């Protein structure tokens, strides 16, 4: 059974940093690209970042480019999102998602809430 | 990248059919057969219902179907059931630096 479990969310001040992690199990982690998708309170879904199975290629939405980095540790089946220079508009539930192909997500974690506020 | 356009709401009575549209451009919906649809119940993670325009993942009822014409994709839910009441989001692969764009979401109400 595929499981994705996010952690690391919380309250952070504007301009601060936070690191999210996603522990994956139930599939061959290194064989699949992974993404982070966020959802602001009461709003729709927004793709944030993707990383290839090997970790060699990374992609970012314009809204987070230069502020967020994505990485993975295939030996530990873990996906990470390092967020810096956080803004109020980054407040959202952040989901990690397994990529079925071409950024179609067949499994999602339960999400972790990031709140950026002073 | 602008969000894909979905109607904010849709509704139907139990047993009826409802279709939700998702309009993009030739750079996303019209340019690729990589449209997906997700169902999201309140407080829950999204669930994949349709991928590659028409394909259903294992376990998704065949009451859910997808189609596409030009720059507009559609999700049809037939034989509406109470548990179908949820938010539905479309997405499309958008090429260009490997990006995906989502629709704004449609709240489906089963009357």
Report the C-alpha gap between B84 and A65 in whole angstroms.
36
Rounded mean pLDDT, A41-56: 96
Summarize the confidence of residues A96-105 as an average pLDDT.
93
Name which of A47, A61, A110 is nearest B45 (Cβ-Cβ). A110
Contact call for A104 and B89, based on CB within 8 A:
no
Quick: pLDDT tens for B13-50: 999 999 999 999 999 999 999 999 999 999 999 999 99
Q: How far is A45 from chain B (nearest CA, A)?
A: 6
Q: Counting beta carbons within 10 angstroms of the beta carbon of residue B70, is it exposed (0 to 12), middle (13 to 18) or buried (19 or more)?
A: exposed
Decide if A100 and B51 are in contact by the 8 Å CB cutoff: yes
Which residue carries 């938010």 as its tokens? B87
What per-residue confidence (pLDDT) applies to A2?
96
Using the Cβ of A113 and the Cβ atoms of chain B, whether some distance falls under 8 Å is answered with no
pLDDT of residue B2: 54
Report whether pLDDT(B98) > 80.
no
Residues in chain A within 8 Å Cβ distance of B66: none
């Amino acid at each position: 059974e595929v499981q994705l479990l996010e952690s690391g969310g919380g309250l952070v001040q504007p301009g601060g940093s936070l690191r999210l992690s996603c522990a994956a199990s139930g599939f061959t982690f290194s064989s699949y690209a992974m993404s982070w998708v966020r959802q602001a309170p009461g709003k729709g879904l927004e793709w944030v970042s993707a990383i290839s199975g090997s970790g060699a290629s990374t992609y970012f939405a314009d809204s987070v480019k230069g502020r967020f980095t994505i990485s993975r540790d295939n030996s530990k089946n873990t996906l990470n999102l390092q967020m810096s220079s956080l803004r109020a508009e980054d407040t959202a539930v952040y989901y990690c998602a397994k990529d079925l192909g071409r950024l179609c997500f067949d499994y999602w974690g339960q999400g972790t809430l990031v709140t950026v506020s002073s | 990248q602008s969000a894909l356009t979905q109607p904010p709401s849709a509704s139907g009575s139990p047993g009826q059919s409802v279709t939700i549209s998702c309009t993009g451009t030739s750079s996303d919906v019209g340019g690729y057969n990589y449209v997906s649809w997700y169902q999201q119940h309140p407080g829950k993670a999204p669930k994949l219902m349709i991928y590659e325009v028409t394909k259903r993942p294992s376990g998704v009822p065949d009451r859910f179907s997808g189609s596409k014409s030009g720059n507009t994709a559609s999700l049809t839910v037939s034989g509406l059931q109470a548990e179908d009441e949820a938010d539905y989001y479309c997405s499309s692969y958008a090429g260009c630096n490997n990006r995906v764009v989502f629709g704004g979401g449609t709240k489906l109400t089963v009357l």
